Amino acid sequence: MKKIWVYDTTLRDGSQGEGVSLTVEDKLKITARLDYLGVDYIEGGWPGSNPKDLEYFKRVQELELRHAKVTAFGSTRRPGIKPEEDANLKAIAGSGVPVAAIFGKSWDLHVLEALGTTLAENLKMIGDSVKFLKDQGMEVVFDAEHFFDGYKHNADYALQVLEAALEAGADWLVLCDTNGGSLPAEITGAVQTVAQRLQAPLGIHCHNDGELAVANSLAAIEAGVTQVQGTVNGLGERCGNANLCSVIPNLELKLNKRCLPKGNLRYLTECSRYISEIANLVQHNNQPFVGQSAFAHKGGIHVSAVLKHPETYEHLPPETVGNTRRILVSELSGASNLVGKADELGVDFSDKAFTRELIQSIKELEYQGYQFEGAEASLELILKKATGEYTPYFQVDSFKILSEKVAGGETISEAMVKVRVDDKMVHTAAEGNGPVNALDNALRKGLEEFFPEIAQMHLSDYKVRVLDEKDATRAKVRVLIESRDVTGAWSTVGVSTDIIEASWQALLDSIDYFLMKRMSRNEKLAANNA
């Protein structure tokens, strides 16, 4: 199995994506997680460009990395000066890491127009910079910026750029599709030419402006490169970079190339979601391999087949990349969906007539506007209530909300809730920065006396969807609430023409689900300790 070296640039190129902002602490956490995954190189940033990256390179020395080499990024020396006088190169050399990645112009248009220098001076800048860093004892990765555009415009000069870096001692020559506009056949042809002309380790760095970064990276590897650059979840400027969460499993599972240490591919989904969480970004459900929907099945015929033979609708077992199969229940569902979901949740559904009746009930709820694909905690409660496996922990007798707007001031909401636990009635009131927040505070206040662990859960997301826009303010709305504790997250749903009522339904389900899961865990712990 041939080794492909994985070069991750999430912390540098990925952080240039719109909406991505990483603190030093974030970058250190991601570094540790990428090392745990088993990537070979982690491009930490540009030490000569900003104080945050300077601090990162100081503090990353404290991490005990087991596998990855941290890499400092920068450009070649500026025109007309010596490399030892260039602040950027001096910062790279002083970064304390073993690898330097420097980019140089390989498109003559950029040399003449962007840099404003001569083609000969550009070649000298590249050679001088690589030699300077090699003299400091560093491994040098040379990124030929805009290589494929340069190759199409002036192939001879683009190849001279690579030769200049190689003659100066570069350890890697990385061919960059910086504008992301190349097609796989163009990538293949250029890589084959380079591989025939130069005896050097080659890498590929693709952007995704044509939605081809993954395909172009795979094409380059099949044509002879042995290092692949990209980012986790495809983060990056404009349309992003090659998504390593797709590149790596395709290489390992489809092309029989070794990218990660043996067995580490199963950590891929966890790593992907961890980095989304640290970067405070919403993970796309339909992301291949690692997305929540990557192995989700909804159509009844699909589900029936997948439960018999998973390969009928799955191109690989989800466990190989650390993901899980999900069976969705919706208006498209058949009995197979519900039975599959029940098995997944540990609910007994052996009565076929009852199963059909329950499916019809769920379809009716979805017709009314409920959506259980994104609210599986509410669905689990429905299934366990239907089979008698659910015991309510509390009952709400009533609630009342008052909102007051003082001229020139904020609107204050107050909620009063009457809640019954066993035979004890509790009447509580609380304020909030809105009616839903006030209801949440009042309900918690009444329940914490009986269930103090409720303090450990919190609402992490709240979405409202208008279902019938034509009805304007009379329209029915669907509210999805995501809640979270230290063990994970769960989602619940409510539907009503009254946004407060819909929110209340979702809120009650959220607390119900938390208590059900917590009590179940406590019972298991007690049984294990007995």
| CATH assignment at residue 516 | 3.30.160.340
Nearest in space to 145 (alpha carbons), one of 225, 197, 205: 205
Structure confidence at residue 328 (pLDDT): 62
Is residue 290 in a domain? no
Structure tokens belonging to residue 454: 């409720």
Residue 113 DSSP one-character state: I
Is residue 288 in a domain? no
Is residue 272 in a domain? yes
According to DSSP, the residues that pair with 262 across neighbouring strands are: none
The answer to whether 169 and 141 are in contact (CB under 8 A) is no
Structure confidence at residue 293 (pLDDT): 83
State how many domains the chain has. Answer: 4
Q: At which residue do the structure tokens 């909102």 appear?
A: 403
Is residue 364 in a domain? no
Range of the domain at 431: 394-450
Q: Report how far residue 397's alpha carbon sits from residue 517's, in angstroms, rounded to the nearest whole number.
A: 23
Structure tokens belonging to residue 126: 């590249």
Beta-strand (E) ranges in 208-357? 227-230, 257-258, 296-297, 326-327
CATH of the domain at 416: 3.30.160
Structure confidence at residue 264 (pLDDT): 97
Is residue 408 in a domain? yes
Beta-strand (E) ranges in 232-284? 257-258
Is residue 473 in a domain? yes
CA atoms within 13 A on the CB side of 334: 10
Is there a single domain that holds both residue 266 and residue 303? no
Structure confidence at residue 349 (pLDDT): 58
Is residue 17 in a domain? yes
Structure confidence at residue 27 (pLDDT): 96
∠ CA 44-49-53 to the nearest 5 degrees? 35
Is there a single domain that holds both residue 129 and residue 174? yes
CA atoms within 13 A on the CB side of 41: 27
Is there a single domain that holds both residue 410 and residue 323? no
Is there a single domain that holds both residue 128 and residue 253? yes
Structure confidence at residue 387 (pLDDT): 76
Structure confidence at residue 524 (pLDDT): 46
CA distances 81 to 76, 125, 141, 182, Å, are 11, 9, 22, 34
Structure confidence at residue 426 (pLDDT): 92
Is there a single domain that holds both residue 126 and residue 233? yes
According to DSSP, the residues that pair with 426 across neighbouring strands are: 419
The DSSP result for 446-493, as a single string, is: HHTTT-GGGGG-EEEEEEEEES-GGGGGG--EEEEEEEEETTEEEEEE
Structure confidence at residue 354 (pLDDT): 66
CA distances 165 to 70, 107, 150, 306, Å, are 21, 15, 16, 52
Query: What is the block-wise mean pLDDT of the chain (530 residues), using blocks of 10 residues?
Result: 96 94 94 97 92 94 96 96 95 97 97 95 98 98 98 97 98 98 98 96 98 98 98 97 98 97 95 87 88 76 69 88 74 52 59 67 74 77 81 90 80 91 92 89 92 89 79 79 86 91 93 86 51
Is there a single domain that holds both residue 442 and residue 466? no
Is there a single domain that holds both residue 373 and residue 414? no
Is there a single domain that holds both residue 117 and residue 260? yes
Nearest in space to 437 (alpha carbons), one of 513, 504, 509: 504
Is residue 286 in a domain? no
What is the pTM (predicted TM-score) of this model? 0.72
Is there a single domain that holds both residue 374 and residue 408? no
How far is C-alpha 293 from the geometric centre of its chain's CA atoms?
13
Is there a single domain that holds both residue 71 and residue 105? yes
Residue ending a domain, among 216, 250, 278, is: 278
Is there a single domain that holds both residue 248 and residue 345? no
